Amino acid sequence: MEGPVRRIVQPRPALPALLSAALAALLLLWPPAVHAADRTGPPRDDPAACALPGATGWTDEGHDTDHSVFQRPAGTLQVAMVFVDFPDAPATEPPATHGARVTAGADWLWYASYGKVWPAVTAHPHWVRMPRPSTAYGFARGLTHEAHEAYLRDAVTAADPGVDFSRYDMVYVVATRTAPAISFTPTYLYEPGTPGIVADGRRVRWAVTFGQDMWRWDRRLAAHETSHTFGLPDLYAFEAGTDPHRFTGGWDVMGLIAGAGSQYLAWHSWKLGWTTDGQIRCRASRGGDTVRLTAVEYAEGTKAAVVRTGPTTAYVVESRRAVRNDAGACASGALVYRVDSSVPTGQGPVRVLDAHPGSTPPAGCRPLDDAPYRPGESFTDPAAGVRIDVLAAGALGDTVRITKN
């Protein structure tokens, strides 16, 4: 029998309809920037010609996501949230403080996906006791799939008398703050062909187990980890070196979770289906295109211009503005980055190109936070025959020229 439950986030947050309608009206009034070469040059390439294949067998930047492994990022996802403590670390705080922090990330993800996916989190607001001490679970970087699955199995088994797991698509397990041994927050994906975990007749295929770092990061941690179940890779460097965020800075929640402007890159929104093919301008053959980009923080308009450069590589330019989910961004402009779907998670599958590498970021900002290009500035890669020129900027986005020789 199911125990008492509480829907922490209800109702689903509404997208700002009036603001979206006003933006759509402004886009209609924004005159298109057409370059003479667009009238006489080669026809536009099909966006599919710029969609890269996955080449790592796991989370990567390829568009051919394996949905026998990864969750579809669409519609309402029913999420059970359970709270666990331990014989050596009994909880002393109410679970509601943890729950509110996690479910705020569901709100953020709803807005970041343009309302395309909603993690509907149902909290089971009481602590359930794990069968082993917190120190017995071996939480450390390099935690094996088997050890993580054993932790999740114990949590699901402990909670099962009060939770009907057959109702849920995924599970959030939240550890008490008194258990420092549960140090970080990994994502669980069921490995096909193994026994896995079955509760109430349903296999647990996707889960996030929240540890102590949930108090170091903000609400976006839930969005970051849930996005791994959709097939997105990590954009920060596993080999931290002098800066673990040297690849993308804070320009995507899959990199620096607490980044100043961490709305998903347009490439990720396209990969996940939140941005349509019709919102992508592709240049896979020789030629050029002048493209009016609407900032990725808005759902409407053209989101990215992509120049395909190889079997697994492309350059992307998108527009960023300090609005909505990116209200705290340190800079606005045309963000240029290179994508390589053959590069594994944590090794730099996306690399932002810094338009101002010698500049000092504004106070409170980090390297790459001022990376966007401004009108009159250009990026070139002579070896790949690629040039990206920023022609103009406005409140809603940027006009760029992409060329492939």
Please give the Cα distance from 365 to 198 (Å, whole number). 45
pLDDT for residue 246 is more than 80: yes
Residue 42: its pLDDT value, please?
Answer: 55
Please give the Cα distance from 319 to 43 (Å, whole number). 23
Query: Which range, of 5-19, 100-114, 323-337, averages the lowest pLDDT?
Result: 5-19
Residue 389: its pLDDT value, please?
Answer: 98
**pLDDT tens digits, 353-373:** 999 998 998 899 999 999 999
Strands of the 287-294 sheet, one edge to the other? 287-294, 397-404, 386-393, 378-381
Half-sphere exposure of 335 (CA within 13 A, CB side): 36
Please give the Cα distance from 403 to 326 (Å, whole number). 29
The tokens for 306 are: 């992509």
pLDDT for residue 40 is more than 90: no
Three-state secondary structure call for residue 223: helix
Percent of the chain with pLDDT over 90: 86
pLDDT for residue 6 is more than 80: no
pLDDT for residue 38 is more than 90: no
Would you list the DSSP string of 302-336? --EEEEE-SSSEEEEEEEE-SSGGGTT-S--EEEE
Reported as a pLDDT band with limits 50, 70 and 90, residue 44 is confident
Reported as a pLDDT band with limits 50, 70 and 90, residue 321 is very high
Residue 142: its pLDDT value, please?
Answer: 82
Query: What class, spelled out in words, does domain 66-228 have in CATH?
Result: alpha beta
Please give the Cα distance from 148 to 171 (Å, whole number). 14
The domain ranges of the chain are: 33-64+256-404, 66-228
Please give the Cα distance from 376 to 114 (Å, whole number). 31
Single pTM value for the model = 0.91
**pLDDT tens digits, 142-188:** 899 999 999 999 999 999 999 999 999 999 999 999 999 999 999 99
Nearest CA-CA partner of 373 in 342, 345, 327, 337: 337
Residue 16: its pLDDT value, please?
Answer: 53
pLDDT for residue 267 is more than 60: yes
Residue 102: its pLDDT value, please?
Answer: 94
- Here the contacts of 140-145 (C-beta below 8 Å, separation 24 or greater) are 140/183, 141/184, 143/186, 145/191
**pLDDT tens digits, 375-395:** 999 999 999 999 999 999 999
Residue 39: its pLDDT value, please?
Answer: 39
The vertex-337 CA angle with 317 and 333, nearest 5°, equals 50
**pLDDT tens digits, 48-98:** 999 999 999 999 999 999 999 999 999 999 999 999 999 999 999 999 989
Residue 37: its pLDDT value, please?
Answer: 36
Please give the Cα distance from 243 to 227 (Å, whole number). 23
Question: For tokens 């607490």, what's the residue?
Answer: 258
Average of per-residue pLDDT across 317-334: 97
